[in-house]
Amino acid sequence: MIRGLYTAASGMYSLERKQETLADNLANAQTPGYKKDDTVQRAFPKLLMQRIQDFNEKGNVTFGGDFQLPGQPVPIGELYNGVYTQERIPSFGQGSLVQTDNPLDLAIEDQGIPAQMVNGRLVKPAAFFAVQLPDGTVGYTRNGKWDLDANGHLVTSEGYQVLGADHKPIQITDSIRKEDLFINADGQLIAYPNDPSKTRLAGQIGIAVVQNPAELHRSGGNVFQSANPVPFIQDAGGTNPGISLYQGFIEQSNVDTGQTMTDMMMAIRGYEANQKVISVYDNSLQQLYSVGKMNG
C-alpha cells in the first residue's frame, strides 16, 4: 500500500514537470524561431516478482543431500514503481514563415538538408544563425528578427550580436541604413543594391549546420549552445544547397497551440487521477489505523 502512495506521487511530480514544459511552450508560441520542448517520461526500473518456497508441477527440489525446498520459485509478474520525467528534449521541426517586409528580418528554411545516420538512427540536421553571447561564447538560434544597434552591429531582438562568415560580429559602417541593405540567398549583405555606383558587400551572415541537434542544450529561451564548436557552411568555401534564406520573413515557433492546450488538459486530468489514488490510500490507512487502535 505504501508503494502505491509513492507510485501515485511520482506520477503527480512527473505530470507537474510536463505541465511546466507545456506552459513554457505556450508562452513562447509567438516568439520568432522558438523550438518547443518535448518531455520524455520513463518508468522506474521494474521488479520481477516471484513466489518462493512454493509448489508447482516440478515438485520438491533437493540441494546438497538432505536439504529440500518445497518446489521452485513461481513467477508472479512485473512490478512498476512509478514514472519520472527524465529530460526535456527540444524539437527542431521547421516553423512556418511569415512575411514582415522588414529589411533585417531573415528566416531559415532547412528542409532540403538530407537526413543522415547517427549511431544507427536517422537524424535530421538543422541550420542556425550564430550569435555572440554576453560572456563571449557562441550561441545558435533561429530568431531572425534583427536590427542595427548604435554601433552598427547586427543584433537579434535579445541584443546578441550576429556573427558573420568570418566568425566575427557583423558591423555595418559608413552610415548605411537597414533600408539600404539587401540579403541574398547566400547570406551576403549588399549595400545599395539599386545604385551600381555605390553597391558593395557589407558582410556575410554565418550559417551553422548542426549534424545532430540532439547534442545541443538550451541556453536561455531561444538560444542553444554546443559542447563543441559548430562549423559554418562558409568555412568550406561554399554554401549548402539544402538551406534557403528569406529576407523580409521571420520563422514562427513550431509550437502547435491547439495541441499544446489539449496536452495540458490531459496532464491536469492525469494529475487529478493520481490525487484520487492517494486519497483512497490515505482513507484505507486511516481505517486500518482505527481498526488496529480498537483491537489494541
Name the 3-class secondary structure at 225: strand
Domain at 1-44+81-89+255-296: CATH code = 1.10.287
Q: Is 7 exposed, middle or buried (0-12, 13-18, 19+ CB in 10 A)?
A: buried
Domain boundaries, the chain: 1-44+81-89+255-296, 45-79, 92-251
Q: What is residue 33's predicted lDDT score, i.e. its pLDDT?
A: 93
| C-beta of residue 34 within 8 angstroms of C-beta of residue 158 | no
In contact, 142 and 251? CB cutoff 8 Å: yes
What is the model's pLDDT at position 56? 47
**What pLDDT was estimated at residue 295?**
59
- For residues 223 and 243, give the distance between their C-alpha atoms in angstroms, rounded to a whole number: 20
Output the tens digit of pLDDT for each of the chain's 296 residues: 577 777 788 888 888 889 999 999 999 999 999 999 998 877 655 555 555 555 545 555 555 555 455 555 666 666 556 676 767 889 999 999 999 999 999 999 998 888 888 778 888 999 999 999 999 999 999 999 999 998 999 999 899 999 999 999 999 988 888 899 999 988 899 999 988 889 999 999 999 999 899 889 998 778 999 998 899 988 876 666 788 899 999 999 999 999 999 999 999 999 899 889 888 888 887 877 676 665 55
Task: Give CA torsion, residues 146, 203, 228, 226, to 10 deg.
Answer: 10
Q: Is the dihedral of CA 203, 209, 215, 220 positive or negative?
A: positive
- Residue 293's pLDDT is 63
Q: Which residues have C-beta within 8 Å of that of residue 94, sequence separation ≥ 6?
A: 109, 110, 111, 251, 254
CA-based nearest residue to 110, from 184, 208, 34: 208
Cβ contact 113:122 at 8 Å? no
Q: Using H for helix, E for strand and C for coil, what is the string for 58-103?
A: CCCEEECCCEEECCCCEEEEEECCCEEEEEEEECCCCCCEEECCCC
Instruction: Quote the cell numbers at residue 91.
Output: 524539437
The type of residue at 205 is: I
233, exposed or middle or buried, with CB in 10 Å at 0-12, 13-18, 19+?
buried
